[in-house]
Structure 1
Amino acid sequence: MNESCLEISKASACLFKDYKQSEDSYDNLFVLTHLGQLKQMEALISSKNISNNCLVVLYSQKNLTVPKTVHDQYSSAFKKAIFVEIPFGINKLDFPKLKKIEKYYKKIVMLSQPRSLYLNSFEGHYAVLTSIAQSQSVKIILVEEGTATYKFNLKKMTQSSKDSTLSYNFVRKNFMSTVGETQSFKKLVKIYKNNKELYKQSKIFVNQIVKDEKFQKNLIEIIGSQHVKASLVPFKEFDKAYASFPSLIKEGFGVKDVDYFLIHEVINDESEEDAREVIEKYNITENDVLYVSQRYHLDPEQYANTVTAILTRMISGEQTVFIKLHPKENKKIYDSFKYLEFVSNKKFVVIEESQFLIESVIRLSKISQLVGLTSTTLVYGPLVSPTTKSISIAQKLIKMLPPTQTNIKGIETIESHLDIIKIFDNIEFK
């Protein structure tokens, strides 16, 4: 590991290689990867009065900005912060990488000796961690992170085992497209060490087979340890969970002990002030409509024009539609909505600011309608403002968009995301 590339300046922080057992013990271990999860965990700590906490931040060398941001912003809610460099691509099944991460997780659990482990995730290498923690009688706690946490509630979430083994056809296909293409193989001539073509293609063939997920799965099943094998199945045996939809968590995970928790109900003075500034600047009222845009692989102009057509039919004469664009929105989409703002005499208004919590705006303004495609805001908006009606226009958008090559990929993604938000009964679908 090359952890030295990450600069550590806080006295309470250290790199994994420097982490040693101290006289201090920590009751709770919080494991996360990015700033959003940090804010989620800190809000939970604040609202539930959780004390004596240790933070574990996972990162890779591919992106040092994220752990640096977490380092700079984590609060005194944590007595210690350990920054652990994990192998890049660890989210894919890879026996050597999982074997390495198993050693890291064992050391962390053994040295910190927590009573409870708090996680947002439950698949792959996180299942390795939960297996290790469970073997040490550590209480394992799930903290909801958006709607993806509820994917076990999907009826489509059935795992098929028929494709879990490495097939003969797969091996044969890769062999014939690599080694089989060499003249040496075709002519069955004697192989010499200097036959670079055969060597090169043989190496590609081996790499393709070894990197295949089915091969890795078979390898883990055969020689993996108890903890590494745990990566093959999502972890569901949580002792406790914190979630905004307790009944759905109980149904999806079978967790009996679930506490209600919604980060957007934890009042933050800074986010509230930012929200008030936006509301006052644009004169957003409880009679108005808010459209939450998302980035999808769609033709920008067709997307903007179709959304405009749908929204125009939905609103009454007295309402203003405020458009909250994604921070990294395509400029063509921005330009299209700005043109709409101009020709509509500001019946449609683009909110220019991006650095504010939209849920805080919804809570304070009590806006009449919240409209979007598959945004998680559609799920959480009505929780922070019960009088706000949440509406998804994704199905109507899909019907109206031309099924061009450009749009097909985006439409497929929208449909898969729709499956998740249809779990929640506080959204109306158009």
Structure 2
Amino acid sequence: MRALRKINKLIRHPRRFFMDSLWFSSPQLQLEKTSNLCFISHLGQLKQLESLIQYENITEITLVILFTRANLKMPEIIRQQVSDSMFKQIAMLELPMQPNRINVRKLGYIKRSYKKVLESVSPKRVYVLSFDSHYVFINDIAQANGIEVNLIEEGTATYKYVGSQKTVNSPGNFNERFNKFLIQYVPFFYGLKSSLGYAKNYKSVYAAYPEMLECFDFEKSERFFLHAGGLTYSEVTQQLANKYGINGRDFLYVSQRYPINNFDYAKTLIGILEKISKQFNRRIFIKLHPKDTPAFRKALVAEIGRNIDNDKKIFLIKEAEFLIEPAIGLIRPEVVLGLTSTTLVYTNLVSVNSKAVSLAPYFLKSLSESQSQSDNKQAFEVIDQHYKIINIFKQVQHVTSESDLEQILLVQAESGVVDKSLGDIDSHVEVASQAYRESKYLKALCNLQWAYPEGLEKMPIDSFIDYLNVNRKVSGAVYVRELLFSVLRDSRKYLIAGILNNSKFYNYVAKDITALHEQGEYDEAMSLVSLVTKVAEANLHYRELILAVTIEQCHILLHRGQFEEAWELNNQTINNEDITFTPDDAANLLLQRYLCFLGISQDHRNLVWESPTRLIDILENQSYVLRGLIAGWECLLSRQNEKCVELLLEIQKRDSMLIRCLQPDLLLAKAYRKLGDYTSAFRSLVKAEKYRKSFYAIQIEIAELNYAKNDWAKYKASYRRAYPGQFLFSEYRTLPNVLNASIHVRDLDDAITAYQLMRDEDVKFLDSDVLENFIEFLGTEEKWEQLINFHHRFHRVGLKRVWPIALAYRKKGDLESACSIIESVPLHASTSEELRFIAELYVLLNKKDDSRAYWAELLRKFPESAPQHAWNYL
């Protein structure tokens, strides 16, 4: 019937028949313009693409789903699983059947289709996951129109090099050979010739092992892997690990589906695994492929039961529908076994110390000894073809015979790309830091993991805190809290690593306890407090370590009305520790507990403001120094700096070990600084340093003193000593000062970083001179992009120094915005440069009258600076 309709159409409407055929037609598509365009054809590509979108924070995306009538279910499945929020628009593009076959009619139609999509969307960037056959046309058309093309790794197929051109290089049938001849020798079809090769040129390549892709030409590369950063981790992974009790001493075998008789396959495989298990006295867990048949599963179970004695060492994981890479990252098994599974290639990216071993040569040899090779010819060809790809990767070991088995644990994999790419701390931390500043949190997380591939316990404390901060952005507070509980429960490992011996960790935990408290989750907060206290007790100085946690614990007790317990706990802790670590903006917690500490009435509390000496006389017990110090804090926070100094000087007259322990000198230094007595402030800090030289709060106060004295270089040096981590700009309250100091010392990178991380609400309280100086600094350094971003973000601030911003818009070709900025500010140009800039801007906008007025003013005020051509505009 379909053939008859075509004949009928040919007879009645011959012109329409030919125009609607694949020779001349193209799809009907109505698409909006977007900055980014992506092409995918199956579900695996979708997951890769969505991961990259998160990894690079890509927005303004058009997604084109390619499909054929051979599988109409696939585009429906993809459409159902697409995260709509990631894409501005989604389009379906039908291709002819068997699009990878060499056929001039089909290739011509596909090329016209791609051209229509690209012209309609008019993107700046295109992202593809395939690079051969008809996909080459995307690259050709995009680059001819000045659009950058970026390649995303699809899997090991990306590493097949020229071998990816299987259709082209193989003889094919007569029809394909004839069509290939037409493309190569008939001028009319020369435009299709690129489909016989593969696209080599890209702007960027995103791949797990970009250093291996020498067959492509690209300007830059980014390490990218779908399962990195815990992106695909789920609770199912942890539940399965717990269910089967799999640990780091076990081996994992990753199964694959092959066209082999189920009995032969199971018998050969279990025989090899049994030898490995006995050789190393290890348990081996078999992870089935989701497409493994029930018959193969039954054959495996039968063979395991037949070959293994009572001391069973081989186990079949019943569940198949879960991702194995996250499980490897969680369990970190000693060895991952397989035949030609791509998991072997990526094992080291999720667990650097796990050895990846291919049994393919040994398996084929054993299978051929027990069965005729002709019986499993297809299987041999498939396994051999896949094995050639696996063999490219140097980090995968290979077992060719039984004698090679003993080498699995004795011999390291051949030094290859993994050794160069993982554990390069400096480069990965630098990328992580930059990604964090750009709000690309998943990218920051991945690079932190690659910097320390042996696990969290190998991270220095500052990187560990950075890791928690990034995870909070990527996975949320609940995940980070679970991570904290996990670290505390596995305390032995992290104590050895030094993480649980550092107060920075406990200060971080204290913030999480605060969050739980604010959410009203008191029981969980107290559970975390209890676990922290138990772990920290192993340290000789544990009270000092968990001081921040203890203060928050007291806050919770007070909130629940347990005043006596709160007073007792604070009295114990703070009488033995230094409470002056508390920064000014957190000291309000002390005020909330003031009455609890003193145990006196509101009338006595008012004595703080009237007579500090008299207050001390009233407090006649062992805690009088502590209470006087708290009163000093209250004076300082209420800006009664003279009374604070008077009170603290009185306290210092008391010669006791308690005074030395509490160290009021730091508080005294703060008060002197706020009074403008920098000499006395410095002397107090010198005294404070005698007891606690490396104390965080002392370094902060030294930095604040240097800032007050306008000693910008020393301020930044002190600030870096106080915050030695990789992300030096994590304290929001210090960012305005860091910005101002960086401008004065002409440190552009730090100035831009501080600005990018500054919250919008902080700008409201920022000195306008600092903002104006920052604009001028960016203009001097010709940072046009940053100036435009600055204007987009803070255009309501009421800026006066707008010339650099207007110049930035002009440099980027946005003349209307430049003009709008100039005309929005009620100020007149005052320099020759400003007058000339406005005059030239109006010339470009063809505003002749306005232009003439500014040229005239320039010639009148600055005749020696005016260009000769200025007279031509009058």
TM-score of the superposition, structure 2-length normalised?
0.40
Which residue of structure 1 aligns with residue 225 of structure 2? 262
Q: CA deviation at 1:299?
A: 2.6
Contact residue 165 and residue 196 of structure 2 kept, 8 A: no
Contact residue 168 and residue 196 of structure 2 kept, 8 A: no
* Residues in 2 aligned to 1:292 and 1:125: alpha-carbon distance in whole angstroms: 33
Contact residue 56 and residue 83 of structure 1 kept, 8 A: yes
Query: Does the residue aligned with 2:218 lie in a helix, a strand or coil?
Result: coil
Which residue of structure 2 aligns with residue 275 of structure 1? 237
Matched, 1:148 2:149: no
Percent identity between the two aligned chains = 35
| Length, aligned pairs only | 365
* Residues in 1 aligned to 2:44 and 2:189: alpha-carbon distance in whole angstroms: 32
Query: Does the residue aligned with 1:121 lie in a helix, a strand or coil?
Result: coil
Q: CA deviation at 1:109?
A: 0.2
Query: Does the residue aligned with 1:382 lie in a helix, a strand or coil?
Result: helix
Matched, 1:29 2:68: no
Q: CA deviation at 1:273?
A: 1.5
| Residue 272 to residue 159, structure 1, CA distance change in 2 (3 Å) | closer
Residue among 214, 237, 258 paired with 2:177? 214
Contact residue 336 and residue 357 of structure 2 kept, 8 A: yes
Query: Does the residue aligned with 1:315 lie in a helix, a strand or coil?
Result: helix
Matched, 1:421 2:385: no
Q: CA deviation at 1:422?
A: 1.0
- The aligned runs of 1:41-56 (5 Å cut-off) are 41-56=49-64
Residue among 193, 209, 222 paired with 1:245? 209
Q: CA deviation at 1:215?
A: 0.5
* Residues in 2 aligned to 1:426 and 1:334: alpha-carbon distance in whole angstroms: 30
* Residues in 2 aligned to 1:289 and 1:329: alpha-carbon distance in whole angstroms: 20
* Residues in 2 aligned to 1:94 and 1:160: alpha-carbon distance in whole angstroms: 11
Residue ranges of structure 2 left out of the alignment (5+ in a row): 1-25, 400-874
Query: Does the residue aligned with 1:371 lie in a helix, a strand or coil?
Result: strand
Note the alpha carbon deviations across 1:219-265, whole angstroms, 9 max, x for none: 2231455542221111111221001111101x222334111101110
* Residues in 2 aligned to 1:230 and 1:78: alpha-carbon distance in whole angstroms: 30
Structure 2: which amino acid aligns with 1:48? E
Structure 1 residue ranges (4+ consecutive) displaced by more than 3 angstroms after TM superposition: 16-19, 156-161, 223-227, 340-343
Note the alpha carbon deviations across 1:102-128, whole angstroms, 9 max, x for none: 121111000100111111101111012
Note the alpha carbon deviations across 1:380-403, whole angstroms, 9 max, x for none: 112101121100010111111123
Contact residue 301 and residue 332 of structure 1 kept, 8 A: no
* Residues in 1 aligned to 2:235 and 2:297: alpha-carbon distance in whole angstroms: 26
Which residue of structure 2 aligns with residue 72 of structure 1? 80
Matched, 1:301 2:263: yes
Structure 2: which amino acid aligns with 1:320? R
Structure 1 vs Structure 2 CA RMSD:
2.4
Query: Does the residue aligned with 2:264 lie in a helix, a strand or coil?
Result: helix
Residue among 346, 353, 357 paired with 2:319? 353
Which structure has more relative contact order (CA 8 Å, sep 6+)? It is 1
Contact residue 287 and residue 367 of structure 1 kept, 8 A: yes
* Residues in 2 aligned to 1:413 and 1:44: alpha-carbon distance in whole angstroms: 31
Q: CA deviation at 1:334?
A: 1.2
Which residue of structure 2 aligns with residue 12 of structure 1? none
Structure 2: which amino acid aligns with 1:368? E
Residue among 334, 347, 356 paired with 2:297? 334
Contact residue 141 and residue 241 of structure 1 kept, 8 A: yes
Matched, 1:130 2:130: no
Q: CA deviation at 1:297?
A: 2.1
Contact residue 299 and residue 406 of structure 1 kept, 8 A: no
Which residue of structure 2 aligns with residue 108 of structure 1? 117
* Residues in 1 aligned to 2:177 and 2:28: alpha-carbon distance in whole angstroms: 36
Q: CA deviation at 1:266?
A: 3.9
Query: Does the residue aligned with 1:255 lie in a helix, a strand or coil?
Result: strand
* Residues in 2 aligned to 1:226 and 1:262: alpha-carbon distance in whole angstroms: 37
Contact residue 95 and residue 224 of structure 1 kept, 8 A: no
- The aligned runs of 1:187-226 (5 Å cut-off) are 209=174, 212-221=175-184, 222-225=186-189
Which residue of structure 1 aligns with residue 378 of structure 2? 409
* Residues in 2 aligned to 1:160 and 1:81: alpha-carbon distance in whole angstroms: 31
* Residues in 2 aligned to 1:160 and 1:337: alpha-carbon distance in whole angstroms: 39
| Residue 120 to residue 94, structure 1, CA distance change in 2 (3 Å) | same
Residue among 70, 81, 84 paired with 2:93? 84
Contact residue 38 and residue 127 of structure 2 kept, 8 A: yes
| Residue 158 to residue 213, structure 1, CA distance change in 2 (3 Å) | closer
| Residue 243 to residue 371, structure 1, CA distance change in 2 (3 Å) | same
| Residue 279 to residue 108, structure 1, CA distance change in 2 (3 Å) | same
* Residues in 1 aligned to 2:87 and 2:51: alpha-carbon distance in whole angstroms: 12
Contact residue 168 and residue 197 of structure 2 kept, 8 A: no
Note the alpha carbon deviations across 1:265-286, whole angstroms, 9 max, x for none: 04336x4212112212211111
Which residue of structure 2 aligns with residue 94 of structure 1? 103
Contact residue 269 and residue 363 of structure 2 kept, 8 A: yes
Contact residue 131 and residue 227 of structure 1 kept, 8 A: no
Q: CA deviation at 1:340?
A: 3.5
Structure 1: which amino acid aligns with 2:381? E
| Residue 78 to residue 396, structure 1, CA distance change in 2 (3 Å) | same
Larger displacement relative to structure 2 (43-52 or 312-321): 312-321
Which residue of structure 2 aligns with residue 58 of structure 1? 66
Note the alpha carbon deviations across 1:343-402, whole angstroms, 9 max, x for none: 435422111212211101111111111000111000011210112110001011111112
Larger displacement relative to structure 2 (29-38 or 61-70): 61-70
Q: CA deviation at 1:413?
A: 1.7
| Residue 214 to residue 303, structure 1, CA distance change in 2 (3 Å) | same
Residue among 327, 332, 335 paired with 1:369? 335
* Residues in 1 aligned to 2:187 and 2:69: alpha-carbon distance in whole angstroms: 29
Contact residue 43 and residue 266 of structure 1 kept, 8 A: no
Larger displacement relative to structure 2 (367-376 or 403-412): 403-412
**Would you tell me which structure has more helix in proportion to its own residues?**
2
Larger displacement relative to structure 2 (78-87 or 271-280): 271-280
Q: CA deviation at 1:332?
A: 3.6
| Residue 133 to residue 224, structure 1, CA distance change in 2 (3 Å) | farther
| Residue 226 to residue 129, structure 1, CA distance change in 2 (3 Å) | farther
Q: CA deviation at 1:342?
A: 3.3
Larger displacement relative to structure 2 (313-322 or 387-396): 313-322
TM-score of the superposition, structure 1-length normalised?
0.79
Q: CA deviation at 1:308?
A: 1.3
* Residues in 2 aligned to 1:319 and 1:420: alpha-carbon distance in whole angstroms: 29
Contact residue 43 and residue 263 of structure 1 kept, 8 A: yes
Q: CA deviation at 1:18?
A: 6.0
Which residue of structure 2 aligns with residue 19 of structure 1? 29
Contact residue 56 and residue 82 of structure 1 kept, 8 A: yes
Which residue of structure 2 aligns with residue 179 of structure 1? none
| Residue 117 to residue 60, structure 1, CA distance change in 2 (3 Å) | same
Contact residue 26 and residue 113 of structure 1 kept, 8 A: yes
Contact residue 362 and residue 385 of structure 1 kept, 8 A: yes
Which residue of structure 2 aligns with residue 396 of structure 1? 362
Contact residue 165 and residue 198 of structure 2 kept, 8 A: no
Q: CA deviation at 1:157?
A: 8.4
Query: Does the residue aligned with 2:70 lie in a helix, a strand or coil?
Result: coil
| Residue 160 to residue 337, structure 1, CA distance change in 2 (3 Å) | closer
Higher alpha-carbon Rg = 2
| Residue 121 to residue 160, structure 1, CA distance change in 2 (3 Å) | closer
Contact residue 98 and residue 228 of structure 1 kept, 8 A: yes
| Residue 391 to residue 153, structure 1, CA distance change in 2 (3 Å) | farther
Structure 2: which amino acid aligns with 1:406? D
Which residue of structure 1 aligns with residue 197 of structure 2? 233
Contact residue 250 and residue 283 of structure 2 kept, 8 A: yes
Contact residue 102 and residue 168 of structure 2 kept, 8 A: no
| Residue 111 to residue 320, structure 1, CA distance change in 2 (3 Å) | same
